[in-house]
Structure 1
């Protein structure tokens, strides 16, 4: 039986469920492990991710899909079970990060272009065979008074569109992630500037998706929220929600089944509050949910601390955070629920 891209995409944004971004590169997860004094090895990375994936309550009730790093896609748990099989047994969908990272863009100082298109079709076929049913590619847009440039916005949008077309040809749902950096150079931009650049970036991205004949019903958008720079941070939760929705309504076709936000430098609680405010106050043509990495994992990482005796504590922390995000995806999160944890 052929799996339909549209059905996979709809399942990825099912009511009250969202995506766990567990696709940190080896370098990134080392930084995370450094905060708890744990050496990053293939085994320690496996143990950490297995702890999260075996948190049954979280996985079954709140997590629709898991974005994996290539290493994890092919790894086995301690008992020999493939990690992708643990994900599927929990009713969740395995996914895979496929880009090769943002690299300096020639002739465009302080801007990047994401690489990884060469050989992508062959890699996607292998990932599909291994069980991945969706993929992720991140384009990075720096923001300041003079950035981004039109060249960088267009180049990253074009790469996202080419990636998305290749994914759909391979039977894989593409997550299209054009991230406008909250903490870019120098990170003191206003929310007005963020709104302007986010709208420009999304509009350009959908122009390129149309040019590459990407089926909108078979993709998920993963944008950043419209938020002021990390060094500014004056906007209220309500203002972030209002401006983000305004931009999405202007740029995202209703054919797209869902939008799964990245947390992008926000605190755990901020990312939850902003998502909940959007869902609580607007009637929208798409599902709005989460695709969080650190904002879903940090509390679990701190509770686990790399020790087998703390697996239960880590899983409880992860389950609580996933539940809070689930409530936000339904617009029913409240701050006092955090204190009740």
Structure 2
């Protein structure tokens, strides 16, 4: 695929008023969420739940793409229609999570590095053949008194760059996700420093590996105080700090930035995105790539009565998509 085609896909991912829904929980992670609402973690229940999400009527009006897990990319509706066909017909680009999760970084207690580069080239080729148009890799940066180390940041950004180069070779748009976790008691200023250092390292690594930014999407965490910090910044302060950090580190050539919710409440994640988009002109579109903040309310409804609440749960998914689509244009009314 040419850089022009990659660029076209990347731009479609951040089309005005649209964002990405993350449906890429591993079987273990979805199992924890199912357990919290009393649903057994079986393959059929996972398939049925993902069908509820992906077949939501009019979802494509506000959702440009969906990040899937390996199992989900291969699944179909109860009537046998592949999810990828359902998505494509709705104007939703299929994406795929390709990393294999974080493991301890040897020699640096408390730090982790994401694995999954071994064998990635043939996996990407297979995913492209199955209909994927973009891929996602998540790096995890934790803030404590002793972390992150410079080595942690550099190692994760190096892996993100290698992954991104392999994606573009395979004709897939790479979504690079260096998540600075909300866990901890750090304040917003510390989060700013770590996020700034991480993004500087990331774009340096992408440049060194020949990654074409025009065909790349950044999935970013917001600059926000740790969830255990006694002093929580208000919506405007989070939006201002996040935007200032991005403007100082992210090249204008990037087609767009989508935010992860990272443990924020549904409404806070939407409010922060909306506030940023009300703050004047920016070099790139700012949109969303939410998982829990898109799914939580719908999961509770669906779990209570998988058949009887199917349509109600889908209405909730659509409402969350619409709210975040409006926030991506700075038009959400709260």
TM-score bucket of the superposed structures, by smaller chain: over 0.9
Distance (Å, rounded) in 2 between the aligned partners of 1:120 and 1:93: 21
Structure 1 partner of 2:312: 313
Question: How far off its partner does 1:212 sit?
Answer: 0.3
Structure 2 partner of 1:84: 84
Gaps of 5+ in 1: 336-341
Structure 2 partner of 1:219: 216
Q: How does 1:6-25 map to 2 (within 5 A)?
A: 6-25=7-26
The SS at the match of 1:273 is helix
Distance (Å, rounded) in 1 between the aligned partners of 2:158 and 2:280: 31
The SS at the match of 2:25 is coil
2:283 is the counterpart of 1:282: no
Distance (Å, rounded) in 1 between the aligned partners of 2:280 and 2:257: 14
Q: How does 1:1-341 map to 2 (within 5 A)?
A: 4-57=5-58, 59-183=59-183, 187-232=184-229, 233-305=231-303, 307-335=306-334
Question: How far off its partner does 1:146 sit?
Answer: 2.9
Distance (Å, rounded) in 2 between the aligned partners of 1:74 and 1:49: 12
CA distances 1:76-127 after superposition (whole Å, capped 9, x unpaired): 1110100111110100100000000011111111110000000000000000
Distance (Å, rounded) in 1 between the aligned partners of 2:320 and 2:174: 26
CA distances 1:298-329 after superposition (whole Å, capped 9, x unpaired): 01111111511110010001111111111110
Q: So what's the TM-score if we normalise by structure 2?
A: 0.98
Distance (Å, rounded) in 2 between the aligned partners of 1:331 and 1:251: 22
Distance (Å, rounded) in 1 between the aligned partners of 2:112 and 2:137: 14
Distance (Å, rounded) in 2 between the aligned partners of 1:60 and 1:27: 28
Distance (Å, rounded) in 2 between the aligned partners of 1:115 and 1:222: 18
CA distances 1:128-151 after superposition (whole Å, capped 9, x unpaired): 000001000000001123311000
Distance (Å, rounded) in 2 between the aligned partners of 1:10 and 1:234: 34
Distance (Å, rounded) in 1 between the aligned partners of 2:301 and 2:322: 17
Number of residue pairs aligned between Structure 1 and Structure 2? 331
Distance (Å, rounded) in 2 between the aligned partners of 1:234 and 1:76: 43
The SS at the match of 1:80 is coil
CA distances 1:158-179 after superposition (whole Å, capped 9, x unpaired): 0000000000000000000000
Cα RMSD after superposing both structures: 1.0
Q: So what's the TM-score if we normalise by structure 1?
A: 0.96
Structure 2 partner of 1:339: none
The SS at the match of 1:210 is helix
**Which segments of structure 1 move beyond 6 Å, counting only runs of 4 or more?**
none
